[in-house]
Structures are given as C-alpha cells and as structure tokens.
Structure 1
Amino acid sequence: MTARALMIAGTTSDAGKSVVTTGLCRLLARRGVKVAPFKAQNMSNNSMVVTGSDGAGAEIGRAQWIQAVAAGAVPEPAMNPVLLKPEGDRRSHVVVMGRPAGTLDARDFTRGRDHLAEAAFAAYDDLAVRYDVIVCEGAGSPTEINLREGDFVNMGLARHVSMPVVIVGDIDRGGVYAALHGTLALLSPADQALVAGFVINKFRGDEALLAPANDAIARTTGRPVLGVVPWSPRVWLDSEDGMDVEGRRASTGDPLRVAVVRLPRISNFTDVDALGLEPGVDVSFVSDARRVGEADLVVVPGTRATLADLAWMRERGLDAAVVAHARAGRPVLGICGGFQLLGRTINDPEGVEGAAGAAADGLGLLDVATTFGEEKVLRLPSGTALGADASGYEIHHGRLARGGDEEFLGGARRAAVFGTMWHGSLESDALRHAFLGEVAATTGRRWEPSGVRFADARTARLDLLADLLEQHVDVDVLLTLVERGAPLDLPLVPPGAV
C-alpha cells in the first residue's frame, strides 16, 4: 500500500513551512497515525547526524530530524535525500542519502540535476511503502519559475504522486494575500490543480479582522484559507537556515551574557539553543567587535567555510576582540569550525572548502592544528566532561592534531578557552549546567542551574505546535485532502504559468 501525502509549500523561505509540517507530524502522531516527514532537497548548513541503512553515520537537514522526532519516527536519510550545504554564493556541497556527493555550481540549478531527482523520488517511494502518511515540506517557493523545469522539490514532487498542496504565507511580513494569489497565479494549470488551500502564519491580533480578506482570496482563487496560525513567542524550532538566527533574552535581571559570533557561513547555530533556554542566560548573535567585550562568554560557532570566515573576522577586528577576551581570563567556547578557528593553523591542501592549498594561522588560543581532508567524519559520540555525561554529533572534514592542551569533548581546553568537535553537546543538561557554572565562577558572576531539561522543553514546543494547529487550522479539511487528494474541480487562476 502506498502512503497518502500532503505537501506544505510556502510563498517564500521562512514563511512557516517547517512550523506547519512539524506541527502536522506531531498532530498526526498523537492521533496514532504512522507518519513521516519528507523534504526532497534542503539547502541548509544546519544539519544532523543520523544512522544510515548500513549502520554508519549519515547527514540530513536539522529540520527534517526534528520533524521525525515530532512524528515519533526514527530519523533517516530518506526523509531528506538531497542536502545542499552552501559554501559561498555560487557553490554548494552536496549530500545524497546522507553521504557526500560532490559539489553543485549555481549553473547546475537549471540543468544537470536528474540524478538528484531520481534519488529524491526513490527515497519518497521507499518511505511511502513503510508509512501511512507522508507530510512533505517544499523548499523556498513553488513559483521559482526559472527553476520549474528541473524541480523535484515543490510542484515537481507533488506531480510525481498527484499530491495535494497547501500554501503557507507569513502575514508578519506584510502583503500576504498578494503573495498567496501571486504564488498560485504563476503556476501552470496542471500545478494549480493540486493547490487546495492556504494557511496564514504569524498573525498578531483579532483573527476576525481577517475575515473579509479571507473571503476575498477564496472567491478570487477558489481556494479557502484553512487556518490562521497566531504568532507565539513560545514557537521555537530547530531551524534549517540562517534566516532564523536570533538571540534569546533572559528572564532574570542580571543574567550571564553570551555573545555568539555571527559568522557569514554559520552552521549548526542551534548548538546555542540550550543556552538560550536557561532563564539566567542572555544569548545574542554579534558581528561587532565591541559587543564581544561586553560578554561573559564568547561562542565561536560552526562554519561551512572556516578560512573564509576567519578572514571575515579579521576584517572586522573580531579576531583581536576574541583573543583579548580570552587573555583577560574570560571564557571562550569554539564549536567544530569555531574550535578550529581558535587553533594554531588551518590548512586545506585539497581544496575541500575553497582553493586548494589555502592556509592561515588561527587565533592561537588552543594548541591545535587542523588539516581538511576529502573524507567527512559523521559520528554520534558520547562521553564525559567537567564531571558530567554528555553526547553530541560530529560533522566535519577537519582532521585535528592536538598538542599539550587538556582534552575536552573531542577537542581541547586551555584554562577558560574550550574547543569541542561535538555539536549539540550543550543539550546534555548536566554538562550545560557544569559548563555555565565554570563560566560564572571564572567571571565572578552568580548563576544557579534552573533545572530546565532540554528534552522536556523540546517536547513541549512540539506539542505547542500541534495544539496551535488543532485550535486554529481546519484539520478535518487537511485530513480529507490527505485521504482523497486535491479536489478535481479547482478553478484556474489567470494568468497561469509564465
């Protein structure tokens, strides 16, 4: 039996596709449905390690990982068969079914992707025989009309199995009704036939005020607004791209101040989510050297382009600011690429991240030398540090030669400078509390563990999403679409395809 399916598309990136997809996965799982998420191609430097079919480590987008968690399903490469990790404006590292598969140039987006489409459709078809329902998330907008010919992520996927589509628009941006109408109108007649309705996201205010506009968009397109999801400050998901990088303000009057360097090619920025969950910790992303000096703890996060981001830090004086912070005896934490930046040297002899033979001196705060190699390390390590159990995941091309510094979570420590190769380690509650205790002791600040459990907070966020959809979206109509597909008599909205 082939699974039933529904696609959640959006008028733009960050319109709310991930939020609605995740909430639907949670909602259906709570109703006893065996459901899986699917995104044919994700473009993100925020990824997660899962176990592949051969038992080895594999890599998928972080958003699909959290959607699988919401669905109560085991995350696997088939849920995100193609992952593009941008290395610059014109080139992306390609991951297919969890494993590195070369690079993709910007020109390849309009041709030369047939093998990626085949991998994506095969992965979907595999999931479809193992699950009852597949909730598919689109990418960007379904009306990327310059890319439609080779599309296998949005309407190309929907047409693959005649899947009904719901389009989400973010009203907080403004112009949502024009965006909904325009998205539909620019689709071909065959694509339009699968679009069954709209959802409006991030509304602030009295929903009754939208009734005239909702009626008007339904009359002009023949598709109803199936729900208006309110903006909620408690909606906080593992995001898939840097558009959602923002700080977390503390709820206490005198918090520990954490400054996260906002690298241009930042990756796995959700590593600091657990810090922001603590009510006594204030997290901000900074790109100004002056802000570094105001912090108690500076975090240099992961990056997809280590040498390029090191050059960016030097152009802005951020390298000197981080070094000055450390030499003043104040804590610094580097994670993966950020850890490599804190070391002595960085070498890329094979051109894994850029030009072959590129090299640079790091910040020299840790006795570590990094050399990039073609083979990617994908692991799910566990161990202890600071007297606490910890776990995480590793995704990196860098090979590290550590000198005399103390070992710390696959990395190194020298006094108050910490470097780790383990993403996600701060989600381990005992380690996070021990680490923040060290930060407080080093800086002479008072801080007490709050007792917050990261896993419980994540579960509460997932249930909140499902609750919001239950209360504000016509779930019965969505389930009918899943069961029966898009209605066959939907009208064509001029002007049709461009």
Structure 2
Amino acid sequence: MPVDTPLRSGAGKALLIAGTTSDAGKSVLVAGLCRSLARRGVRVAPFKAQNMSNNSVVTLDGGEIGRAQALQAAACGLEPSVRFNPVLLKPGSDRTSQLVVRGRAVSSVNAVDYIEYRAQLRTVVAEELASLRSDFDVVICEGAGSPAEINLRATDLANMGLARAANLPVLVVGDIDRGGVLAHLFGTVAVLSPEDQALIAGFVVNKFRGDLSLLAPGLDQLTAMTGRPTLGVIPFVQDLWLDAEDSLGVSGDAPVGRPGSPFGDDWLRVAAIRLPRISNSTDVEALACEPGVAVHWVSDPSRIQDADLVVLPGSKSTVSDLAWLRRSGLADAVIAHAKRGGPVVGICGGYQMLGSVIVDEVESGNGTVAGLGLLDLEVEFAPTKVLARIRGEAYGVPVSGYEIHHGRVRHSGDRPLLHADNGASEGSVRGAVYGTHWHGLLESNRFRQLLLADVAEHAGRSGFVPAPGTDVANIRGAQLDLLADLVDQNFDLDALESLLASGTPTGLPTICSGLNP
C-alpha cells in the first residue's frame, strides 16, 4: 500500500548519489532507494548523466543505456529508456571509447576529443534531467566514479558539475569493505571547492560487517569534522550479485554468484572467459542462477580442462580480444575442448570469434581475420550498429533478447539456433558448439534449461537435471526487494525525505579545500 508522503505531491525533487570510488555502491544504493520509494507510491526515476560501461541494454525506444540504469528502472517499475542515461561511453581500448548520445553511437573519441563535445553534452544532460523532473515526483541521480577527481572537474557532467548545474543535494557513499572509508569520505569533501562542498549533504557507508557500535564513534567524529551526518550504514550481503555496473569488477578465476545445490546428482561446471574488453558480462549470470551450475570467470587455459561448458561472452573489441585469446593460449584450449566434444557457447562477439572469418574495417581496421573455425560462419562489420529487442522461438519454446553489434552474418552453413518473430533465422549450432548475437537469451527460462540439458548430455553429465521453476526475472526482483529492505531498515528515510523536500543544504561548513587552499 502506498505510504502517505509529501514526496508524492508535486514534481521536480532530485538528489545525487556520488561515491568515494568506482564500485563504492552508487548503483545498488540508487536501485535500493528507487525501489523503496516506488513501494511507497512515489513516482521515481533513475538518472545517470554519463556512464562508462560496456554492459548495456537496448531500450524500448531503440537506443542503448548502461545496464545499471536498466536495473534501476526496473526498481522503479519502469521500462529502460535513453532518458535515464543520455551519455554512455563504451571503452574499446585504453585510450578510445565509443560515444553514445541519447542511445545512439555518434563517434569514437579519446579524452581530448571528448572535451570538444562537452558543451553539447551539457545541454543534452540538462534537458533530459529537466524533462524527468517534470514527469516524476523524485529523480535519484547516480554519479560516475568519484567527484574527487579534481583533474576532471572542469569537464565533469555526472558529479559536482551536474549537482552545481541542477542545484542538487549530494550524498557520498563509501565502501567500508575496502578499508579506510572514513578517510575516503572526509577526503572526498576536503578536495572539493567551497562551492561544491556546499552541496554535500551527508554520507552513506556501504558493505558494513560487524558491530555498529564500534563504527559509531568514527561516524560521530566524521560529523564533527565535516558538519555532515551519516544517513545510512548498509550491511554487506553476499546474495546481491546480479547486474554488476560494469566489467571492471569481473576478475579472472572468480566465481559468479552463489550456486545452489544441484537438483540432480551432478554439478555442471561452466568456464566463462574473462576477455580484456568484455561486454555484457552479465549474460552468464542467468546460468549462475541455476541450481547445480557452478560458473567461474577464467583467464588461464588450465581452467578449461575440467569445464563441462565454455562460454565466450561479448566483446567491445572482437578482433583485439580474439588476438589476446590466441596469445594467452585460451584459443587452443577452447578448440581442444570443442574437438573433445565439449560444449561451447558464444554470445555476440564471442559468437563471431567462433566462426571461420571476421572482416573488420570498422572496429579494429584489421580487415580479414581468421576466427577459431568452430562454426561455418563469416561475419563482416558494418559502420551502423544493430540495436534491437527481439522475440522468437528456440527448442520449440518462446525466447527473447536484444542485439547490440556492428557485425553482420554474411554466410552461415550451420543449423540456426533460433528463429526470430520476423522470420529470420539466427545463431548457429554445430555439434555441441552454439552461437548467437542475442544478449539476454539465457534469461529465457525454459530455453536455458533445455540448452543446459543438451550441454549436460554432450558433457557426459547424465546426473545433471535442470531445476524446474528457476526464474531469472523473479530472482532479480527479489534482489531489488532485498535492496529496498536494506534501505528501509538501515537508512534515515525521514532525513532523505527532508533533504529532497528542502533541496540543497544550507549553512554547512567548508573544510580544507584542495582546489582552494
């Protein structure tokens, strides 16, 4: 039942969640706040002015945004929209990124090029935020990286640059699990200019374990030193792992999720290759939702030896990552696995790598490159990107997914994996090697279970039985509710409501300033 709250009367309220570092907890805190407010009947929307991530989704309006904003939209009960993430940078190398504006790729830029776009992008960001504030009771904005990157302040679109332009109160969240959180919180404020400091209204501590009474004196001292309260201490919860913000947190040889015990007698072991420019790494999370399926990221050929299934995920730099696959010895390991009859699944860029030929004058400029040769597939890159949400059928059951890629199939001599509703065949199957351009396909529950049954048969795991009733959408919804519960129980929601209602804070002291010593 909706809770009576002043936040439901009138529009235009907003605040910014900034972080001491990348992966401090900004995305999940925004998702939790959005879910908490939505459960109280507040019309709430997420917003991230500028994101840098290769994990993206296709929106209903045919664009692409960061996956974290799609999760936050789901927390609000909304479909993903380019309004929620108007500027997206997709790194293709250490020096260049694809610039996506309002869902559409407009250029490949380096840091210097990007500066030239800043005036145009400031206008885009301001227009989209103003539009959201006119349509919703509350907009919860997420910063990018840390506002303490003072060398980037002049061109900042997502942190204090946004807060100053839109007059937003700011909460700074820090990850105590990394250590040094009190110094991180104090230091983040201290290096800002007095004008930026004036917007910092308080702090949030994330991933806390232990006795809160031991932390409380430190928080009291932080308040005494800065004049700003800590509005929440969010506990560490291992069960929150779906829909990571980006691939930077995906490390080689790390487990994905927390697998439940097998429904049958056998486990199914999945090795997902951690490519250097991995994109949409969250595709493998659907496999990790299945009881009895143990998924690990791998970056060493030896980890392929004992795997039942090898997954080649998407890549923002297919040809470059294919070259890395060969240099690392993983290509030979994958080929040997397939020749033994071991199952392999390739998704988007990983699918392209499994073919015989890649022609790329667009992304890498390397021209014709030999693939791994496990599928009779030829792919040619085109300048325009395919962006589509699609439905279809595979294994006789309905499936859905989305496409984000430059590669076009110019030849496929293998059996198709699925058939789209538009009548087109998609994907490839040759023996136990499967490939598709569709992201999100593994979230189609019945298809995933039938595919895993196939994989288990090829891998000789006769005791593996897909568990009935595993529903990825329900698991994601339960995680969002868990986030909201954590916010409800560990966050000062009255203070949050007052902050949203009153707008930017007043009378807060300036502490030592790195920008204005």
Query: Is this a same-fold pair by TM over 0.5?
Result: yes
Aligned structure 1 segments of 4 or more residues deviating by more than 6 angstroms: none
Distance 1:178 1:110, change over 3 A: farther
Note if contact 1:39-1:138 (Cα within 8 Å) is conserved in structure 2: yes
The whole-number CA distance in structure 1 between the counterparts of 2:339 and 2:178 is 43
Partner of residue 101, structure 2: 96
Note if contact 2:286-2:442 (Cα within 8 Å) is conserved in structure 1: yes
2:136 is the counterpart of 1:131: yes
Q: Given the alignment, which residue of 341, 345, 354 partners 1:333?
A: 345
Note if contact 1:266-1:301 (Cα within 8 Å) is conserved in structure 2: yes
Distance 1:2 1:34, change over 3 A: closer
Alignment map for 1:302-317 (pairs within 5 Å)? 302-317=314-329
Partner of residue 428, structure 2: 412
Q: Given the alignment, which residue of 172, 177, 186 partners 1:172?
A: 177
Partner of residue 488, structure 2: 470
Amino acid at match of 1:387: G
Structure 2 residue runs without a partner (length 5+): 1-9, 419-425
2:273 is the counterpart of 1:265: no
Note if contact 1:87-1:304 (Cα within 8 Å) is conserved in structure 2: yes
Deviation at 1:395, TM superposition (A): 0.3
Deviation at 1:380, TM superposition (A): 0.8
Partner of residue 377, structure 1: 386
Note if contact 2:358-2:370 (Cα within 8 Å) is conserved in structure 1: yes
Note if contact 1:169-1:200 (Cα within 8 Å) is conserved in structure 2: yes
TM-score, reference length from structure 2: 0.93
Question: 1:389-418: per-residue Cα shift (whole Å, max 9, x none)?
Answer: 210000000011233200014211101000
Partner of residue 423, structure 1: 439
Deviation at 1:108, TM superposition (A): 3.4
Partner of residue 15, structure 1: 24
Partner of residue 448, structure 1: 465
Alignment map for 1:161-310 (pairs within 5 Å)? 161-245=166-250, 246-248=254-256, 249-252=258-261, 254-310=266-322
Partner of residue 4, structure 2: none
The whole-number CA distance in structure 2 between the counterparts of 1:139 and 1:404 is 44
Query: Which deviates the most, 105-114 or 57-66?
Result: 105-114
Give the SS at the match of 2:291.
Answer: coil
Partner of residue 60, structure 1: 65
Query: Which deviates the most, 76-85 or 402-411?
Result: 402-411
Question: 1:125-182: per-residue Cα shift (whole Å, max 9, x none)?
Answer: 1111111110000000011111111111111111122111000000010111110000
Q: Given the alignment, which residue of 455, 465, 477 partners 1:459?
A: 477
Partner of residue 423, structure 2: none
Root-mean-square deviation over aligned CA pairs? 1.3
Partner of residue 490, structure 1: 508
Deviation at 1:257, TM superposition (A): 0.2
Question: 1:452-492: per-residue Cα shift (whole Å, max 9, x none)?
Answer: 11111111000000000111111111111111123211010
Note if contact 2:90-2:97 (Cα within 8 Å) is conserved in structure 1: yes
The whole-number CA distance in structure 1 between the counterparts of 2:29 and 2:338 is 42
2:101 is the counterpart of 1:85: no
Amino acid at match of 1:358: G
2:378 is the counterpart of 1:360: no
Amino acid at match of 2:334: V
Give the SS at the match of 2:42.
Answer: coil
The whole-number CA distance in structure 1 between the counterparts of 2:278 and 2:513 is 40
Identity %: 55
Q: Given the alignment, which residue of 40, 43, 58 partners 1:34?
A: 43
Give the SS at the match of 2:135.
Answer: coil
Amino acid at match of 2:488: E
Amino acid at match of 2:475: A
Amino acid at match of 1:386: Y
Question: 1:170-204: per-residue Cα shift (whole Å, max 9, x none)?
Answer: 00101111100000001111111110100000011
Deviation at 1:271, TM superposition (A): 0.3
Note if contact 1:247-1:276 (Cα within 8 Å) is conserved in structure 2: no
Query: Which deviates the most, 316-325 or 397-406?
Result: 397-406
Deviation at 1:293, TM superposition (A): 1.5
TM-score, reference length from structure 1: 0.96
Give the SS at the match of 1:346.
Answer: strand
Deviation at 1:348, TM superposition (A): 1.2
2:454 is the counterpart of 1:438: yes
Amino acid at match of 1:413: V
The whole-number CA distance in structure 2 between the counterparts of 1:324 and 1:443 is 14
Partner of residue 3, structure 2: none
Give the SS at the match of 1:406.
Answer: coil
Note if contact 1:110-1:147 (Cα within 8 Å) is conserved in structure 2: no
Amino acid at match of 1:420: T
The whole-number CA distance in structure 2 between the counterparts of 1:69 and 1:326 is 38
Note if contact 2:57-2:70 (Cα within 8 Å) is conserved in structure 1: yes
Amino acid at match of 1:441: E
Deviation at 1:388, TM superposition (A): 2.1
Partner of residue 45, structure 1: 54
Give the SS at the match of 1:75.
Answer: coil
Deviation at 1:325, TM superposition (A): 0.7
The whole-number CA distance in structure 2 between the counterparts of 1:292 and 1:106 is 37
The whole-number CA distance in structure 1 between the counterparts of 2:116 and 2:244 is 28
Give the SS at the match of 2:151.
Answer: coil
The whole-number CA distance in structure 1 between the counterparts of 2:255 and 2:348 is 20
Question: 1:320-358: per-residue Cα shift (whole Å, max 9, x none)?
Answer: 111111111110000000000000111112xx212x343
The whole-number CA distance in structure 2 between the counterparts of 1:186 and 1:109 is 24
Partner of residue 7, structure 2: none
Deviation at 1:110, TM superposition (A): 4.6
The whole-number CA distance in structure 2 between the counterparts of 1:449 and 1:289 is 27
Query: Which deviates the most, 103-112 or 25-34?
Result: 103-112
Note if contact 1:58-1:378 (Cα within 8 Å) is conserved in structure 2: yes
Note if contact 2:60-2:79 (Cα within 8 Å) is conserved in structure 1: no
Give the SS at the match of 1:393.
Answer: strand
The whole-number CA distance in structure 1 between the counterparts of 2:376 and 2:175 is 47
Note if contact 2:18-2:142 (Cα within 8 Å) is conserved in structure 1: yes
Amino acid at match of 1:183: T
Note if contact 1:35-1:73 (Cα within 8 Å) is conserved in structure 2: no
Alignment map for 1:386-397 (pairs within 5 Å)? 386-397=395-406
